[in-house]
Amino acid sequence: MALDSEPDLNPGLEQHAANARAIQQAIKEPAERERVAKVVRELAYAEFAKFGPLMGHGVIVNGWARPAVVGNYDIDYIARTLITYGGIWANVMPEVLYYSASTDGTGARLSGDNVYTLTFPKDQLPQSFAKYFWSVIAVDTTHFRVLPNPQSRHLLNRETKPIYNRDGSLTLYFAAEKPMNAPDGNWLPIPKGSVYRLTFRFYGRIDGVANGTYFPPAMIKTSN
């Protein structure tokens, strides 16, 4: 059982662990199991819906959520539960900072039926905020798994060899079919009909990513 495996590395949650063990015992009785299930449906689902886009107690700017805590959660069990649910585990902030976006700059949900661009000005390129490297992936919003596509491409980073614009800026493309003006290494294929979420990772966070003043630009819908 997960509850009886390694000791919890996050101090302050001992009482929550004890409560979980008590519930584990109580729900062996069918009536109590149904009562707990009802509470989960009526209360827990609503909490997930409320805190999910923020990854707990995070902040959203330009459609991108920056979590308040990750990896080490102290007593923030909401963030811990959400991140565990969506990603199983996470690195600590000094190692990598995760930004998540499920909407474009207008607040509309990201859809595989649309074409989006993500443009970084030349003075705010992704590598400016990562000591090691950066990457962006797209996952579904149910199981949080990378999206299948004929190209078997599941992320963009420096290894996809993106080409920069003439003015030094960088534009990334997210679409089912590669836009005519998009370099191949700048394009992340997104299946038609999908509703998805992006995760942008900065490994070895520095400057604005480290101090919380930076957020990636908004996703711009260019066509559908």
User: Considering the domain 54-223 in this protein, what is its CATH number?
Assistant: 2.60.120.600
Q: Which residues contact 60 (CB under 8 A, 6 or more apart)?
A: 53, 54, 66
pLDDT of residue 70: 87
pLDDT of residue 5: 61
pLDDT per residue rounded down to tens, the chain (224 residues): 455 666 666 677 788 788 888 999 999 999 999 999 999 999 888 888 888 888 888 999 999 999 998 888 888 888 888 888 877 778 888 999 999 999 999 999 999 999 999 999 999 999 999 999 999 999 999 888 999 999 999 999 999 999 999 999 999 999 999 999 999 999 999 999 999 999 999 999 999 999 999 999 999 999 86
Is residue 198 within 8 A of residue 173, CB to CB? The reply is no
Going from N- to C-terminal start, the domains of the chain cover 12-49, 54-223
Is residue 126 within 8 A of residue 170, CB to CB? The reply is yes
Cα–Cα distance between 48 and 17 in angstroms, integer? 19
Is residue 168 within 8 A of residue 186, CB to CB? The reply is no
pLDDT of residue 4: 60
pLDDT of residue 1: 46
- HSE, CB side, 13 Å, CA atoms: give it for residue 37: 8
Q: Which two tokens stand for residue 181?
A: 């003006």
pLDDT of residue 2: 53
Q: Which two tokens stand for residue 2?
A: 């997960």
pLDDT of residue 49: 83
